[in-house]
Amino acid sequence: MSNLGTRHPSDEQLLYFADGEMTAPQSEDIRGHLKACWQCRNELEEIEQTISECVRYRKIVLDTCLPPPPAPWFDIYPQMAKIDESHTRRRLLNRVREPLATVWSNPRRWIPAVAMVLLIAVVVQQFRQAPSVQAAELLRKAVAAATSRPRTARRIRIRTRTQHLTRVVGNAGTAVKTKTAAESTAALESLFQSAHYSWEDPLSAKSYADWRDQLSDKQDQLTREADHYQLRTTTDSGELVEATLKLSSLDLHAVEGTLQFRNREWVEISELPDAPAPSPEASMEAAGAASASGTYPSTSNQREGPAAAATPGEELAVLAGLHSLGADLGDPVEVTRSGGEILVTGTGIGLERQQEIREQLRAMPRVTVRLSSEPSAESPGVEERSPSRISVGPRTGPLQAEMEERLGGRAAFEQFADGVFDLTDAFMSRAHALRRLAQCFPPDVEAQMTSQQRQLLERLRQDHAEALLGNVRDLEGRIQSALGMALDDARQVNTSGQWQDETEQLFVEARQAETMLVALLGASPQETQSPELPDQVAASVSQLFQRAENYLRLTAGR
C-alpha cells in the first residue's frame, strides 16, 4: 500500500476500501490515489454499482420472490415472559428434588444418581469462580510457566487482511517477511502500540495479561477444550476491542491468538514449529504414496507426542491427501496448522464429499476435520456451474458484437463466454492452490524440510502448474479465434529464482488476466469500449502463459 502513488490498487484492495475493511492509514493511501487516478475511481464506482445492484436484488428479487413466512410472526413478548417464569421456577433445589424423587423408589438407581449429583457438584465447583477471576488466575499461571521455561527464540505467523508475516520472537526479535508481505510492518506495529499490546512478543500470556490488566472495563470468557484453554476478552476501552488467546492445556504456552481492533483491522497469530520433528519424513513417504495411489496407509505408529507442535511436514501431508481428491482446489476446504494439530475446516461441502475427505485423512495423526453438514450443497472442490446459465445479455458493446460476428452468432458467443469463465475459474483455482503452498512453506520453513518432503511439495506444485498451463493454453486458443489475432509468444518474463516469489508473481498475473477477461466479456462498459482492450487481453494472457511455462520449468528443474 505504501507505493500507491505509482501503483494502482488491486480490485481486492478497492473492495476492502469500499467495504470499510481497511485501517485508517491504508484508506488514506487509497483515497489519495483515487484523487489522482481516473481509472481507479472508475473501478471503484463499478464495484459500488455492483454492490448497489446486490442490494436492489435483495429488495426486488429476494423480498418478493421468496415465499413469505407461512404464519404471522409470533408475539415475542409472551414468549420472553415464559422464559422469565421458567428461570424463576427452575431453582437448583427443584431441579435436584425431582430426579431424586424419581430414583428414590428404585434403590438400584441411587448409586448412579448420587454419582451424577456428585459429578455435577464437582463441575459446578469448577466453574463457580467468575470468568474474570478464572482468566486472571489462568494467565498468572501461564506467565509463571513461561518464566520458568528457558527463553528461546520461536517463530510465529502473523496474518492480517493484507499481510502475511513470519517473525522470530523471544530472542533477538528479528523479523522475516515472506514475499507477500510487501508492505511495511510499521503501520501494524503502531497499531499494536496504540492498543498497548506488545509488538515484540505478541503471542504470549504475558503480553495478553499486560494488555488485559490495563483495561478499565473488560469481560472475559474462558472455555476448555480437549487440549487447550481458550480465553476471550472484550472491552469498550482502548483501540483493541477483542482478543483471544489459546493456551495449551499441557504446559500453558500460547499457541494461537486473534486481535480485533476498533478500526476493524484484525490480526491472527499462530505459533510455527521450531524445527522439523523426526517423524515427518516417514509421514511424507506416506503422503507421497497417498498422492500416487489416492489412499493413506496408517501413520499412527509414527505419531509425535501430543504436546509437540504440528509440523509443516504434517501440514504438507494433509494438503497432499486433499490434493489426491482434488479437494485443494476451489474454495471450501481450509487447512491450518495450530499448535499441536492440523485443522481441516470447511462448510458447504456435500455429505459424500465430506466422507471422502474424512476417509482420506483418517489415518493421519493429529488431524482434526471440521466439515459442516450441509445436505443441500453437493459441491465438489472445484466450483461447478452450469455453462448454459451464463448470460451475456441482450445489449453488447462493439467489441462483443465483433466477437459475435467472428464466432458465428450470439449463441456461439455465449458458449465462448461460458468456456472462458470456466477456464478462468480453473486457472484461478490452481493459482490459489499454488499461493497457499507458497504461504504455508516459505523459504525458511522449506529449508527445514527433508528432501522427501521437498520432493512432495515439488510434485504438488508441478501438478498445479501443469494444469494451470493447460488451462491458459486452452484459453489462448479460444481468445485467438474470438479476437482474430495471433498472440505474442515472444514476451520474456523475469524470474527471481525463489519459487515462492515466482508463485506470487504468477498469482498476480493470473488475477490480472482474469480481470481483463471479465472486462472483455462485458463486465465494464467503459473498458469494453476501449479499443486497446483486445491487445491488453492478448498481452495479459500471453504473459501469463509465458510465466506459467517458466514456473513449470523452474519447478521441474529443481
Partner 1 sequence: MFSDSLLVKLTGVLPAEQSRVSLQDEVAELFEEMRDGVFRYVLSLGLHPPQAQEATQEVFLRLYTALKRGEPIQNRRAWVVRVAHNLALKVRAQQSSQSPFEPDIEARLASPDLNPEQNALERERMMRFHRAMENLSEQQRRCLHLRLEGLRYPEIASVLGISASAVGEFLRRAIVRLRKAAHE
* 491-530 positions binding partner 1, by CB under 8 A: 514-515, 518, 521-525
Residue whose CB is less far from partner 1, 202 or 330: 330
Q: Which is it for strands 334-338 and 164-169: parallel, antiparallel or unpaired?
A: unpaired
Closest CB 1 distance from partner 1, rounded Å: 15
Closest contact distance (angstroms) between CB of 486 and partner 1 is 27
The interface region with partner 1, picked from 8-16, 195-203, 280-288, 489-497 by CB under 8 A, is 8-16
Q: Between 335 and 456, name the residue whose CB sits nearer to partner 1.
A: 335
* Run of H or E residues at 273: none
Q: In this complex, which beta carbon is closest to partner 1, that of residue 21 or of residue 281?
A: 21
Q: Which of 373, 303, 309 is nearest to 342 (CA)?
A: 309
Residues within window 70-109 making contact with partner 1, judged by CB under 8 A: 70-71, 73-74, 76-77, 79-81, 83-84, 87
341-349/367-373 β-pairing? parallel
How many residues make contact with partner 1 (CB under 8 A)? 89
In the complex with partner 1, the residue whose CB is nearer, 75 or 98, is: 75
CB of 159 to partner 1, least distance (A): 7
Could you give the CA distance from residue 519 to residue 424 in angstroms, rounded to a whole number?
12
Per CB under 8 A, contacts with partner 1 among 223-282 are 234, 241-242, 260, 264, 266, 268
Q: Shortest CA distance to 322 belongs to which of 358, 276, 375?
A: 358
Tell me which residues in 99-158 interact with partner 1 (CB under 8 A).
none
103 or 136: CB nearest partner 1: 136
Quote the CA–CA distance of 170 and 200 in Å, as a whole number: 8
Site for partner 1 in 358-387 (CB under 8 A): 370, 372-377, 379, 383, 385-386
* 399 vs 168: CA distance, rounded Å: 53
Rounded least distance, CB 403 to partner 1, Å: 14
What is the distance between the alpha carbons of residues 68 and 365, in angstroms, rounded to a whole number? 48
- The dihedral region occupied by 10, where left means phi > 0, alpha psi between -120 and 50, and beta the remainder, is beta
- Round to whole Å and give the CA distance between 195 and 215: 10
CB of 373 to partner 1, least distance (A): 4
Does position 428 bind partner 1 by CB under 8 A? Answer: yes
The smaller minimum CB distance to partner 1, of residues 407 and 516, is found at 516
Is residue 356 at the binding interface for partner 1, with CB under 8 A as the rule?
no
Q: Is 38 in the site for partner 1 (CB under 8 A)?
A: no
Task: Name the burial class of residue 520, with classes exposed (0-12), middle (13-18) and buried (19+) by CB atoms within 10 angstroms of its CB.
Answer: buried
- Is beta strand 254-261 parallel, antiparallel or unpaired with respect to 240-248? antiparallel
Binder among 161, 406, 459, 473 for partner 1 (CB under 8 A): 161
Return all residues near 496 (Cβ < 8 A) that are at least 6 apart. 502, 505
| Beta carbons of 247 and 338 less than 8 angstroms apart | no
478 binds partner 1 (CB under 8 A): no
- Which residues, other chains included, contact 467 with Cβ-Cβ below 8 Å and sequence gap of 6+? 426, 430
